[in-house]
Amino acid sequence: MGNNNDTIKNRTFDAIVIGSGISGGWAAKELTEKGLKTLVLERGRDVKHLVDYPTTNMNPWEFEHRGQMPLEVQKENPIASRCYIFKEDAAHFVVKDNEHPYVQEKPFDWIRGYQVGGKSLLWARQTQRWSDFDFEGPARDGFAVDWPIRYKDIAPWYSYVEKFAGISGNKDGIPTLPDGEFLPALELSCVENYFKETVSKNYNDRHVIYARCAHITEPQPIHMEQGRAQCQNRSLCQRGCPFGGYFSSNATTIPWAQKTGNMTLRPDSVVHSIIYDESKKRATGVRVIDAKTKDVIEYYAKIIFVNAAAFNTTLILLNSTSNRFPNGLGNDSGLLGKYAAFHNYRARVSGEYDGFADKTTDGRRPTSAYIPRFRNVYKQETDFLRGYASGFSAGRSLKTNSEGFGRDLKKNLQAKDWGPWYVGSHMMGETIPKETNYLSLDKSKKDEWDIPLLNISISYDDNDEKMVKDYISQLTEMFTKAGFTNIKSNDSKQAPGLDIHEMGGARMGKDPNTSLLNQWNQMHLCKNVFVTDGACMTSTSTQNPSLTYMALTARAADYAVSEMKKGQL
Amino acid sequence: MKITRRAALRQCLIITVGAALIPSCMQDKSKPAIALKHLKLDGDEEKLVTEVCETIIPATDTPGAKDTFTHLFVLRMVDDMYPKEEQDQFVKGMKEFDKLSEKKYDKSFVEASPAQREELLANIINNDTNDVSADVAAFLKTMKKLTVQGYMSSKYYLSNVRVYKLVPGKFYGCIPVTSLSEKGPSI
Please give the pLDDT value at position B30.
Answer: 56
CA trace torsion A200, A204, A205, A208 (10° rounding): 0
Buried b (16+ CB within 10 A) or exposed e, A423-449: bbbbbbbbbbbbeebbbbbeeeeebeb
Confidence check: pLDDT of A31 > 60 = yes
Determine, yes or no, domain membership for A200: yes
What value does the mean pLDDT take over residues A167-196? 98
Distance from CA of B161 to the nearest CA of A (A): 6
- Closest Cα in chain B to A61: B154
- CA–CA dist B123, B130 (Å, integer): 9
CB nearest to A66's CB, from B57, B149, B161: B149
- CA–CA dist A366, A127 (Å, integer): 13
Task: Work out the mean pLDDT of chain A and round it to a whole number.
Answer: 97
Residue-wise pLDDT for A411-467, tens only, equals: 999 999 999 999 999 999 999 999 999 999 999 999 999 999 999 999 999 999 999
Q: How confident is the model at residue B129 (pLDDT cuts 50, 70, 90)?
A: low
Confidence check: pLDDT of B27 > 50 = no
Distance from CA of A237 to the nearest CA of B (A): 12
Q: How confident is the model at residue B52 (pLDDT cuts 50, 70, 90)?
A: very high
Please give the pLDDT value at position B74.
Answer: 98
What value does the mean pLDDT take over residues A376-382? 97
Distance from CA of B89 to the nearest CA of A (A): 17
* Amino acid letter, residue B151: Y
Flag if B173 and A192 touch (Cβ within 8 Å): yes
Determine, yes or no, domain membership for A205: yes
Please give the pLDDT value at position B1.
Answer: 38
Flag if A243 and B172 touch (Cβ within 8 Å): no
Determine, yes or no, domain membership for A356: yes
- Closest Cα in chain A to B160: A414
Confidence check: pLDDT of A3 > 80 = no
Q: Give the number of other CB atoms < 10 A from CB of residue B82.
A: 18
Determine, yes or no, domain membership for A299: no
Please give the pLDDT value at position B32.
Answer: 72
Which positions in chain B touch A407 (Cβ < 8 Å)?
A: 58, 60
Flag if A224 and B1 touch (Cβ within 8 Å): yes
Alpha-carbon Rg of chain A, whole angstroms? 24
Residue of B72, B171, B186 for testing the chain A interface, max A β-carbons within 10 Å? B171
Confidence check: pLDDT of B153 > 70 = yes
Distance from CA of A180 to the nearest CA of B (A): 23
Flag if B148 and A234 touch (Cβ within 8 Å): no
Please give the pLDDT value at position B24.
Answer: 41
Confidence check: pLDDT of A120 > 50 = yes
Determine, yes or no, domain membership for A400: yes
What value does the mean pLDDT take over residues A100-108? 98
Confidence check: pLDDT of B60 > 50 = yes
Q: Let me know if B6 is exposed, middle or buried by CB neighbors in 10 A (0-12, 13-18, 19+).
A: exposed
Backbone region of residue A491 per phi and psi (left: phi > 0; alpha: psi in -120 to 50; beta: other values): beta
CB nearest to B164's CB, from A60, A190, A400: A60
Which positions in chain B touch A242 (Cβ < 8 Å)?
A: 8-9, 11-12
What value does the mean pLDDT take over residues A30-47? 98
| Diameter of chain B measured on Cα atoms | 67
Confidence check: pLDDT of A30 > 70 = yes
The dihedral of CA B162, B164, B168, B173: what is its sign? Answer: positive
Confidence check: pLDDT of A142 > 70 = yes
Please give the pLDDT value at position B19.
Answer: 34
Distance from CA of B92 to the nearest CA of A (A): 21
- Closest Cα in chain A to B161: A414
Flag if A64 and B19 touch (Cβ within 8 Å): yes
Flag if A50 and B162 touch (Cβ within 8 Å): no
Tell me if A102 sits within 8 A of A457, measured CB to CB: no
Which positions in chain B touch A62 (Cβ < 8 Å)?
A: 18-19
- CA–CA dist A488, A486 (Å, integer): 6
Q: How confident is the model at residue B125 (pLDDT cuts 50, 70, 90)?
A: confident
Flag if B175 and A361 touch (Cβ within 8 Å): yes
Distance from CA of B29 to the nearest CA of A (A): 25
Look at chain A and report how many structural domains it folds into. 1
Please give the pLDDT value at position B31.
Answer: 67
Flag if A219 and B1 touch (Cβ within 8 Å): yes
- CA–CA dist A46, A20 (Å, integer): 10
Residues with Cβ within 8 Å of B53's Cβ and at least 6 positions away in sequence, in order, are B65, B66, B70, B71, B74, B143, B147, B150
Q: Coil, strand or helix: which one is A75?
A: helix
Q: What angle, rounded to 10 degrees, do the helices at A406-414 and B114-126 form?
A: 80
Residue-wise pLDDT for A292-308, tens only, equals: 999 999 999 999 999 99
Residue of B174, B178, B180 for testing the chain A interface, max A β-carbons within 10 Å? B174
- CA–CA dist A220, A255 (Å, integer): 18
For residue A364, the enclosing domain spans: 180-211+346-430+460-495
Residue-wise pLDDT for A317-334, tens only, equals: 999 999 999 999 999 999
